[in-house]
Amino acid sequence: MKSETILRWGVRFYIGVFFLYLFTPLIIMGIATFNDSRFPTVSPWKGATMKWFGVLAEDGAMWDALLTSVIVAIGVLLVAVPIGVCCALFLSTVQGRGKSFLYSLMMSPLLTPGVIVGISTLIFWKGLSVNGGIVLTVIAQTTFIAAYVMLMILARLQRFDRTLEQAAQSLGATPWQTFRRVLLPYLKPAIISAAVIAFLQSFENYNTTLFVKGYDTTLTVYIASKVRTGLTPAVNALGLVMIVATVLLAIVYEVKKRRESRVVKL
Amino acid sequence: MDSSVHLDNVVMRFGHFTAVQKTDLKIESGEFFSFLGPSGCGKTTILNMISGFLDPTEGAVHIGGRNMREVPANKRPTSMIFQNLALFPLMTVAENIEFGLEVRGVKKAERKKASDRLLELVALQGSGKKKVSELSGGQKQRIAIARALAVEPQVLLLDEPLSALDLKLRQHMRAELKEIQRKTGITFIYITHDQGEALTMSDRVAVMSAGKLQQVADPITLYREPATAFAASFVGENNGLKGTIKSVDNGLAVIDCGALGVFPGKAVGALSVGEQATLFIRPEQLSLDQQDHPAKIAARIEEINFEGSYLTLNARTDCSRDLAVQISSEQYTEALVPGAQTTLSFRPEDAVVIAGGDHV
């Protein structure tokens, strides 16, 4: 009994430390937004202010970078998700050498350092007279984000009951109808999660993007470049806005999901 | 409409493994036909060849007189009920039933009419809007039947569909399946390892073992006149006594079972003197202390089980061979106690002698 109690408290302690470790930087960053100091810091505290939100609103270059990031992320999502889904479907149906070849091919960009993916993409496309920019950024990021998508879809496919496909066929459905009415609805949650992950992976990417961005600076690259010239708490303001937006979205999603699962139970 | 199924010398091989040996079989229009055998005997492979999920290595499947080679599963006039039922979990009950019509482009109103009619047929009126997960095992079973019938197949294929149900429900569903088959007149091809299911529902049963058809017959013939040692031991309870053929005369074979004795029995197929064979005698054909029967075995009663209308006994011969005996309750006397000596006997025409039988 006693060792169990110790274990329980140990786990609680660990979880507490874990969350502290996870959230303390975010909290400090958030508080620093309101510090009337030229530097993004909480000490010394120079008095509360809201002015960094104003500075943020007026920083045109940063809004451009944010827009670029969103465009790139949507582009990656639109390209990487179909590729990842197709590869996963293909891998789940074929056997033998072709299978392991495709799997290794898809996984290798994921295991390659992002810098190398960026540089090699640039060199390759330069040879074809394609210069850095939004298009090349989408291409470079897709090479490894498609692999994430594939892994997520594969995981869901592994639990798919293949007799459902046979049942659909036996009822007269063509392969396309079987896919659209049986397999696709089953994969839908995984596809949505994969799309979200693809978007976020693209949005936060720095090391690959740095080499292929051309003149189209993304948000991460912009913030990093500002580190050299001197960051102001306007960056913290941006961070805070994003955190609040993310949390709100997560809450909306959770509430919606709970409501749906309650309907199913009835 | 001709909805017969003809397996025209089909063979199915997977690499070096022959799952189904050369089989030629005709299943009649409107027949309730079962394939009965232990798991791995090739019966599911046969079903998959009829449904179109597998193409036979040799030979062809004809349905309604039409060669089905090159006809994919979704274009065949068959529909299948799967062992795990394979209901679409993300669709409602009505959507499941209407699926086959939907993919054929049938209008919504007509589909609704069809699903309502089928729900009535399987006695689940008004459950169309339910989710599949809200149904009980027996209800799911009936929805699977309704879904398969919705496409108005000529042939319905059933792959052990009752195996997941509990005993009581299984017995109930047997009667229901038989009733649906009678109402619709569709050819039913039923796969099972449960001889009770095969015998109670089928017009004819094909007993299979190791990819080979052992016997195709109606249930009564199958029970009374097994054609192979496998059929004799797999269908129903049977006592198999191995021995050597001593003589064959006028349909009656005499078999020497060593220490047990020498017995006469009906000869099945061609038997030759000196051949290894097995004498099969059903538990209910063995009588206790009937002196006028020519075949007698002395034994001691080991165990008595009262089953209601009948009793099952376990009797051990002098050479330690256990025999199952079944007698009706009226034959029970106080003298029947464990340890009592008795003489088991049978009429030669009630026993069969079949060549082989090593696996008995």
- pTM attached to this predicted model: 0.79
Residue B4 has pLDDT above 50, yes or no: yes
Q: Which CATH number covers residue B34? A: 3.40.50.300
Per-residue model confidence (pLDDT) at position B359: 56
Share of chain B above pLDDT 70, in %: 98
Q: With an 8 Å Cβ cutoff, are A164 and B88 in contact? A: yes
* A184 and chain B in contact, CB less than 8 A: no
User: Which residue, among B225, B223, B227, has the nearest Cα to B237 in the 3D structure?
Assistant: B223
Does residue B191 sit in the same domain as residue B167?
A: yes
pLDDT tens-digit readout, B126-155:
888 999 999 988 889 889 999 999 999 999
Q: Residues with Cβ < 8 Å from B282, sequence gap 6 or more? A: B236, B237, B238, B239, B326, B350
Does residue B110 sit in the same domain as residue B208?
A: yes
DSSP B310: E
Q: How many domains does chain A have?
A: 1
DSSP B227: S
User: Which residue, among B265, B217, B218, has the nearest Cα to B239 in the 3D structure?
Assistant: B265
Cα dihedral sign for A226, A232, A235, A238? Answer: negative
Q: Is residue A161 part of a domain?
A: yes
Strand, helix or coil at B23? strand
Per-residue model confidence (pLDDT) at position B261: 85
Measured distance CA(B35)–CA(B222) in Å, rounded = 13
Q: Which CATH number covers residue B314? A: 2.40.50.100
Q: Is residue A1 part of a domain?
A: no
Q: Is residue B360 part of a domain?
A: no
Q: Is residue A225 part of a domain?
A: yes
Q: Is residue B322 part of a domain?
A: yes
Show residues of chain A in contact with B74, CB under 8 Å. Answer: 169-174
Q: What is the DSSP string of chain A?
A: -HHHHHHHHHHHHHHHHHHHHHHHHHHHHHHHTTB-SSSS-SSS---B--HHHHHHHH-HHHHHHHHHHHHHHHHHHHHHHHHHHHHHHHHHH--SHHHHHHHHHHHHHHHS-HHHHHHHHHHHHHHTT--SSHHHHHHHHHHHHHHHHHHHHHHHHTT--THHHHHHHHTT--HHHHIIIIIHHHHHHHHHHHHHHHHHHHHH--TTHHHH-TT---HHHHHHHHHHH---THHHHHHHHHHHHHHHHHHHHHHHHHHHHHHHH-
- For chain A, the C-alpha Rg in angstroms (whole number) is 23
Show residues of chain B in contact with A264, CB under 8 Å. Answer: 131, 133
Q: With an 8 Å Cβ cutoff, are B131 and A264 in contact? A: yes
Q: Which residue, B174, B200, B229, sits at the end of a domain?
A: B229
Per-residue model confidence (pLDDT) at position A266: 47
Q: Which CATH number covers residue A158? A: 1.10.3720.10
Measured distance CA(B150)–CA(B153) in Å, rounded = 8
Which of the pair, B149 or B169, is modelled with greater confidence? B149
User: Which residue, among B133, B234, B324, B53, has the nearest Cα to A168 in the 3D structure?
Assistant: B53
* A125 and chain B in contact, CB less than 8 A: no
Does residue B129 sit in the same domain as residue B66?
A: yes
Contact A27, A247 (CB under 8 A): no
How far is the first Cα of chain A from the last one, in angstroms, to the nearest whole number? 40
Strand, helix or coil at B216? strand
* A174 and chain B in contact, CB less than 8 A: yes
Strand partners, B6: B26, B62
Q: Looking at the predicted complex, does its ipTM rise above 0.85? A: no
pLDDT along chain A (266 residues), means of 10: 87 96 92 86 84 87 91 96 94 83 89 91 90 92 94 93 93 93 94 94 92 89 85 86 91 89 60
Measured distance CA(B124)–CA(B117) in Å, rounded = 10
Task: Considering only the beta carbons, identify the residue of B80, B88, B90 that sits closest to A170.
Answer: B80
Strand, helix or coil at B149? helix
Angle at A126 between CA A202 and CA A203, to 5 degrees: 10
Does residue B172 sit in the same domain as residue B268?
A: no
Per-residue model confidence (pLDDT) at position A180: 93
Per-residue model confidence (pLDDT) at position B360: 52
Does residue B343 sit in the same domain as residue B313?
A: yes
Q: With an 8 Å Cβ cutoff, are B103 and A171 in contact? A: yes
pLDDT tens-digit readout, B77-98:
999 999 889 999 999 999 999 9
How far, rounded to the nearest angstrom, does the alpha carbon of residue B330 sit from its chain's CA centroid? 31
Q: How far is CA B105 from CA B79, B89, B119, in A?
A: 17, 22, 21
Measured distance CA(B226)–CA(A237) in Å, rounded = 87
Show residues of chain A in contact with B82, CB under 8 Å. Answer: 163, 166-167
Q: B9: which 2 tokens?
A: 């010398």
Which of the pair, B164 or B202, is modelled with greater confidence? B202
Which H or E run includes B210?
none
Q: How far is CA A112 from CA A61, A84, A208, B205, in A?
A: 31, 18, 11, 62
Q: Is residue A109 part of a domain?
A: yes
**Segments forming the whole domain that contains residue A209:** 60-233
Q: Which residue, B204, B229, B254, sits at the end of a domain?
A: B229
Q: With an 8 Å Cβ cutoff, are A170 and B99 in contact? A: no
Residue B260 has pLDDT above 80, yes or no: yes
Q: Is residue B115 part of a domain?
A: yes
- For chain B, the C-alpha Rg in angstroms (whole number) is 24
Show residues of chain B in contact with A171, CB under 8 Å. Answer: 74, 79, 99-100, 103, 147-148, 150-151
Per-residue model confidence (pLDDT) at position A263: 63
**Segments forming the whole domain that contains residue B159:** 5-229
Place of tokens 């509990």: B166
Q: With an 8 Å Cβ cutoff, are B86 and A182 in contact? A: no
pLDDT tens-digit readout, B210-234:
999 999 999 999 999 999 999 998 9
Q: Residues with Cβ < 8 Å from B71, sequence gap 6 or more? A: B52
Q: With an 8 Å Cβ cutoff, are B104 and A167 in contact? A: no
How near does any CA of chain A get to the CA of B1, in Å?
20
Show residues of chain B in contact with A167, CB under 8 Å. Answer: 80, 82, 86-88
Per-residue model confidence (pLDDT) at position B3: 83
Q: Which residue of B has its CA nearest to A176?
A: B103
Peptide bond into A44 cis (omega under 30): yes
Instruction: Give chain B's mean pLDDT.
Output: 89
Q: Residues with Cβ < 8 Å from B196, sequence gap 6 or more? A: none
Q: With an 8 Å Cβ cutoff, are A166 and B78 in contact? A: no
Q: With an 8 Å Cβ cutoff, are A172 and B148 in contact? A: no
Does residue B90 sit in the same domain as residue B120?
A: yes
Place of tokens 């209601």: B308
Does residue B221 sit in the same domain as residue B274?
A: no
Does residue B49 sit in the same domain as residue B16?
A: yes
Does residue B222 sit in the same domain as residue B241?
A: no
Burial class (CB in 10 A: 0-12, 13-18, 19+), A257: exposed
Strands of the B341-346 sheet, one edge to the other: B287-288, B341-346, B295-306, B310-317, B322-328
* A186 and chain B in contact, CB less than 8 A: yes
Q: How many domains does chain B have?
A: 2
Task: Considering only the beta carbons, identify the residue of B73, B104, B148 that sits closest to A169.
Answer: B73
Place of tokens 């149900």: B165
Strand partners, B352: B266, B280
Q: A177: which 2 tokens?
A: 């109808």
Does residue B247 sit in the same domain as residue B188?
A: no
Task: Considering only the beta carbons, identify the residue of A164, A166, A172 that sits closest to B103.
Answer: A172
B34 C-beta neighbours (distance < 10 Å), count: 27
B237 C-beta neighbours (distance < 10 Å), count: 11
Does residue B289 sit in the same domain as residue B271?
A: yes
Does residue B177 sit in the same domain as residue B285?
A: no
Contact A88, A157 (CB under 8 A): yes
Residue B317 has pLDDT above 60, yes or no: yes
Q: Which residue, B229, B261, B281, sits at the end of a domain?
A: B229
Q: Residues with Cβ < 8 Å from A97, sequence gap 6 or more? A: none
Per-residue model confidence (pLDDT) at position A96: 77
Q: B54: which 2 tokens?
A: 């597998």
Q: How confident is the model at residue B196 (pLDDT cuts 50, 70, 90)?
A: confident
Q: Is residue A43 part of a domain?
A: no
Q: With an 8 Å Cβ cutoff, are A172 and B74 in contact? A: yes
